[in-house]
A and B are shown apart, each in its own frame.
Chain A
C-alpha cells in the first residue's frame, strides 16, 4: 500500500482544475458549476439527436453558448451547424460580428431570412407605422427547422430573463407545429434529460437556463470572449420612444418632431433595431459593464425590449406559437 506523501497547502491541483477563479479542494466555483452543467447538456444532445442546430444571432448569450459548445466537444470540432433567423432589421455591427465569428470558429452558418418568406408570399408583412417584424420570425424559424430536418435546436434563453422563460425546461418539447404547451411539460429530474420525440417534432434545448445576465458577463470576462461593439458604451444618435431610448438606424427613424440627441449608450440585449432600446452608459470596458450590471435595478428585457411589452403574457403567447 504505497501512498504518496502529501503535504497540504503546497499547491492545489484542484484549484487549477476548477478554472481561473481558483477553487479550493473538490469545490467548483458557481460559474464553473454552471459551465459543467451546460457542457453536460451539449454532450447529451450530440449523443441522442441526429441533426441538432444552434441558434446564433451574434448576441452575447448565443456567443457564450457557442463558446460552451466548442469546449464541450474539444478537441473535435462542434458537430452541428448554427442557424440565424435574419429579420432584415438587425444591427449592422451584429451581423458583421456574426459572420466573422462563425468563420473564425469554423462552424457552418445557415441564415434564414424573413424577407424570403415575405417575398414568397408565405407571410404577410404588417406595414403600418411602428410595426415590427418580431412576430414574423416564428414562421421563418419553423421553416428553417423543417428544412434542416433539425430534431434539436439550442437556444440561448435564460430563466432569469422573463417570467415565462422561468418555467421552461432545459429540454423543452415542441410538437409538429413547433408549439410549446406550458401546462403539460415533461418533468425534468436530476441531470437526466428525456430526448424522445417522433418524426417532425423537435426539442428546444436551453444550455444557459440557470445562468443570469451577470453570470454571462463574468464568464465573457473570465474566458476572454469577444462580443459585438454595441454592448459597450459608444456615442450614437438616439431618441425617446415609449420611455425607451432608441437608436437612429436605417430601420428606425424618429417621429416627426422627436428630438434626437448624441448620447453615450450601450445595448444590454441585441434584438431587432426597431424594437431594441439602449441605455445611457459610460461602460466602455467589460469591467465597467459588469459593475453596471451588478448594480442595475432593471431587468435587461424590461429595460430595453419593446417586444416584451405587448401584454403581461407577451412572451408566453409567442413561445406557444414556436418563438424562442
Chain B
C-alpha cells in the first residue's frame, strides 16, 4: 500500500531548490515531456543556454517576469513506495507566510543550504519555522558540493553549525545529506564523489522515513463538523455527527464526553458511505452516532471523559503575522478559527516578539508586522477546546481572520502550559504531596506499566522501544526498563539462580511502579519466565491502583534460536550458560496476557500500533 508523504521545501533564491525539485521530478517521472518542452522554449526565448528548471514551479506570470517564486506551488510524483506532495515554498524573507502555509501539513521539511555559503539567516529562519509548525522530520541538503570539491570537512562544519542552532529548537529527527542537485549526486543515485557519506540518497530517504507515528493515536478528539440528518425510508430518524478524526482512535461502545457542554454518551456506530467501521483514526472522515439523544452541534468536540482538551477563554500561542496592510497589536479584535469553531478574540497581551535568527526575545516590541513571530495571549468571547500544538496539530492550531477585510492575517500554534490548564483542580494534600489524580491532570499524562515477556531474542526490547518512541513523540513521557540494561546497574549483584531471577523481576516491577506513579509509561522488557513472578508485578500494580498490562511476545523457540542476536543460544547449547530459558530452564507460557503478539503480527510497526491501541483502552 502506498503512503502519502507531504514534503515542504525551503531554500534561498540561489540554493538550487528548483533544480533539486526538477531533478527529483524528472528522475521519478513526475515531469512530462510537454512541460519540459514548454520550459525549454521559454528558456531559449530568454537567451538562456540551459533549460531553467525553476520555470517548472514558477507558474504565475509575475513570477516568470521577475524570475522569482511568489507563491507556494504544489507538485506531485509517485514511486512504487510512496506518493509525494511537494509544497514548494519561496525562500525570500517577505514570503515567510508561504513557507508557513507549506509547512503546516508537512511530514518532512527539506531545507537547502548552499555549501559555499553555509548556514545563513534564511537557513535559520526556515529551520525555526519548520520547528514552530511541528514538522516531525527535517532533511538538510547541503547542495552544490561539486563547487567545493566534495569537501567533507566543509560539509561537517556546516552540519555542526546547523546543529548548534537546531539544538535550541524543538526538532527530533534531522538528517543531513550532501548533494549536487545539478549533477544528481545523492539525489536519486548515490554519489561516487562522496564515498565518505554512508547515508541514503535523498529519494531513498524520503521513501523510507518512518511517518507511522507522526499522527497522535493516543488522545481521542473528534471535532464535529456538520450534523447529518436523514429521514429516508432506509434511514428513518438518522442523526449523525460528521467530522474528521483529529487524533486518537474511536470505537463503537466508547464512552464519550461532549465539550463544551459536558454531557456524556456512548458511541453507537461509526458510519461511512461504505458501511460501518470498527474503528476510526486520523485522518479518517466519518459519521458518528451516539446512543443518547443529546444536543451536539458544529464546533463541539467529542473526547473521552478522562482524556479531554483544555477548555479556556484565554489562549496563549506563538503567532506568525501574515498581513502586509495591518499589524497585530494589543487591544485589536480578530476572529480565530480553531478546528470547526470560529470565535471573536481580543489580542490581550503581546508577551514578546521573537528574533528568529538569534531566538532573542524582544519584550518591548509594540506590535507584530508582516512575517514577524511572537508570543501572545488572546481573550476569546467563547471558550476554545485546545491542546498543546506539540501533542496535537489539529486542536493546537488556529488561523486569525480580520473581521473587516475577511483576510487570513495570521496563524497561531497553541501552547498549553500545565499550570494554567489544570490550576483549579490541583490541590495540595495534608501531607504536602500531590494526589495521583492531580499530578496526572497537571502533567496531562497518565502513568501505566507494560510488561513485555517472552523468550530471549523474541523481540521484546525492539517492540517496547518502538512503543516508547511513538509515545514520547506524541508528547507523553515513557521509559524502557530493559532486562539486560538493568542487569548492568541496579541488578548488577544478581545472577541467574531462580531466587535471583525472582529478585530481578521484583526490582524491575517496583521501579516501573514508581515511574508509573510519576506519570510516565513504564515499559519492562524481561524474559520473566515464571507465571508467579509476572503475577507479582501485576499484584503490585493492582494494589497501588496503577494501570498494568502484560504483553506476551510469542516468538517460537526455533525462531529465537535461529535469530540468536547475542549468540546466547549457541553458548547455551554448548553448555556454557546453565539455566538458560527455553534450553534447560522452563518458560511458563502466560495464560491470560492482555495482548499476544504472535509471529503473524508481522511488522514491527503493526506490533507497535496494536500495543498503542491496548494502551488507549488501558488509560481511558
Across the interface, do B73 and A8 meet the contact criterion of CB distance under 8 Å? Answer: no
Asked if B485 is an interface residue, CB under 8 A from chain A, the answer is no
Alpha-carbon separation in the docked complex, A191 to B271 (Å): 22
Smallest CB–CB gap between B544 and chain A, Å? Answer: 13
Q: Which residues of B contact A220 (CB under 8 A)?
A: none
A17 in contact with B284 (CB, 8 Å): yes
Q: Is B597's beta carbon under 8 Å from chain A? A: yes
**Which candidate, B396-404, B429-437, B452-460, B521-529, is the interface stretch facing chain A?**
B396-404
Min Cβ gap A221→B in Å is 15
Give residues in A with beta carbon < 8 Å to B.
1, 3-10, 13-14, 16-17, 19, 21-30, 32-37, 39-40, 43-44, 46-47, 70-76, 159-160, 162-167, 182-183, 185-192, 194, 196-198, 209-210, 212, 214-215, 296-299, 302-303, 312-313, 316-317
Complex formed: what's the CA distance from A3 to B274 in Å? 29
Contact between A6 and B614, CB atoms less than 8 A apart: yes
Cβ-defined contact, A190 with B614, below 8 A:
no
The CA of A299 and the CA of B398, in the complex, are separated in Å by 37
Partner of A299, one of B35, B274, B337: B35
Docked CA distance A267–B473 (Å) = 48
A50 shortest CB reach to chain B, Å:
14
Give the chain A neighbours of B57 by CB distance below 8 A: 166
**Which of A3, A43, A187, A316 is in CB contact (< 8 Å) with B618?**
A3
Number of interface residues of B (CB under 8 A): 106
Asked if A22 and B74 make an inter-chain contact with CB atoms under 8 angstroms apart, the answer reads no
The answer on a CB contact under 8 Å between A24 and B73 is no
Interface residues of B in 296-352 (CB under 8 A from A): 298, 322, 335, 337-340
A202 to chain B, nearest CB (A): 12
When C-beta atoms are compared, the residue in chain A nearest to B75 turns out to be A166
Name the residue on B nearest A198 (C-beta): B406
Question: Which one of B82, B271, B277, B594 lies within 8 Å of A13 (CB-CB)?
Answer: B277
Which A residue's beta carbon lies closest to that of B607?
A: A8
Q: Is the CB–CB distance between B232 and A75 below 8 Å?
A: yes
Contacts of B277 in A (CB 8 A): 13, 16-17
Q: Is B266 an interface residue (CB 8 A)?
A: no
Q: Which residue of chain A lies nearest to B399 when distances are taken between CB atoms in the complex?
A: A192
Q: How far is the CA of A25 from the CA of B612 in the complex (A)?
A: 11
Q: How far is the CA of A189 from the CA of B396 in the complex (A)?
A: 12
Among residues of B, the one whose C-beta sits closest to the C-beta of A17 is: B277
A309 to B249 alpha-carbon distance, docked (Å):
49
Residues of chain B touching chain A, judged by Cβ–Cβ distance below 8 Å, are 1-4, 29, 32-35, 38, 42, 56-62, 64, 70-76, 78, 82-83, 85, 97-98, 100-101, 104-105, 212, 215, 217, 225-226, 228-230, 232, 234-235, 238, 242-244, 249, 271-274, 277-281, 283-285, 287, 298, 322, 335, 337-340, 393-394, 397-399, 401, 406-408, 411, 547-549, 592-598, 600-603, 605-607, 609-610, 612-614, 617-618
With both beta carbons as reference points, the residue of chain B lying nearest to A20 in the complex is identified as B274
Please report the C-alpha to C-alpha distance between residue A221 and residue B401 in the assembled complex, in whole angstroms: 41
Given A24-B605, A33-B283, is A7 in contact with B596 using a C-beta cutoff of 8 Å? yes
Contact A8 B74 (CB under 8 A): no
User: B1–A24 contact, CB under 8 A?
Assistant: yes
Whether A72 touches B284, Cβ cut-off 8 Å, given contacts A30-B4, A182-B71, is: no
**Given A29-B2, A212-B76, A312-B64, also A185-B71 (CB < 8 A):** yes
Contacts of A1 in B (CB 8 A): 547-548, 618
Instruction: Return A169 CB to nearest CB of chain B, in Å.
Output: 9
9 A-B pairs besides A6-B596, A17-B280 with CB distance below 8 A are A8-B606, A21-B1, A26-B612, A162-B59, A166-B57, A194-B337, A298-B32, A299-B32, A317-B61
A22 contacts across to B, CB distance below 8 A: 1
**A194 with B399: CB separation less than 8 A:** yes
Contact A71 B60 (CB under 8 A): no
The residues of B that contact A192 with a CB separation of less than 8 Å are: 337-339, 397-399
Q: Which residues of B contact A47 (CB under 8 A)?
A: 225-226, 298, 340
Determine if A183 and B70 form an interchain contact, defined as CB atoms under 8 angstroms apart. Answer: yes
Chain A residues closer than 8 Å to B614, beta-carbon distance: 3, 6
Given contacts A182-B71, A190-B104, contact A13 B283 (CB under 8 A): no
Inter-subunit contact A313/B278 (CB<8 Å): no
Q: Output the least CB separation between A23 and chain B (Å).
A: 6
* Chain A residue at smallest Cβ distance from B546: A1
CB distance from B45 to the nearest CB of A (A): 9
A28, B242: Cα distance in complex, Å: 18
B279 contacts A14, CB within 8 Å? Answer: yes
Name the contact of A40 in the complex, choosing from B225, B322, B337 (C-beta under 8 A).
B225
Question: Which B residues touch A159, using CB under 8 A?
Answer: 74, 76
Interface centre among B234, B243, B335, B610 (most CB of A within 10 A): B610
Partner of A190, one of B2, B394, B593: B394
Q: How far is the CA of A204 from the CA of B259 in the complex (A)?
A: 32
> Do residues B1 and A29 form an inter-chain contact, with CB atoms below 8 A?
yes
A28–chain B nearest beta-carbon distance, Å = 7
B72 touches A167 (CB 8 A): yes
Q: Are B2 and A30 in contact (CB under 8 A)?
A: yes
In contact, A76 and B228 (Cβ under 8 angstroms): yes
How far apart sit A69 and B376, CA to CA, in the bound complex (Å)? 39
* A214 → B minimal CB distance (Å): 8
- Pair A187/B4 contact, Cβ less than 8 Å: no
Contacts of B34 in A (CB 8 A): 298-299, 302-303
CB proximity of A74 to chain B, nearest CB, Å: 4
Residues from chain B with Cβ under 8 Å of A197 in the complex: 406
- With a cutoff of 8 Å between Cβ atoms, the chain A residues found around residue B232 in the complex are 75-76
Report the separation of the CA atoms of residues A175 and B249 in the bound assembly, to the nearest whole angstrom: 41
CB distance from B131 to the nearest CB of A (A): 16
Given A30-B4, A43-B243, also A182-B60 (CB < 8 A):
yes
The 8 Å CB contact of B35, one of A5, A13, A19, A302, is A302
Contacts of B401 in A (CB 8 A): 194, 196
B227 nearest in chain A by CB position: A47
Residues in B whose Cβ lies below 8 Å from that of A198: 406
* Residues of the B chain whose Cβ atoms lie less than 8 Å from the Cβ of A297: 29, 32-33
Known interface pairs A167-B71, A302-B34; A5-B398 also in contact (CB < 8 Å): no
Q: With a CB–CB cut-off of 8 A, which chain A residues contact B596?
A: 5-8
Assess the A72–B285 pair: CB atoms within 8 A: yes
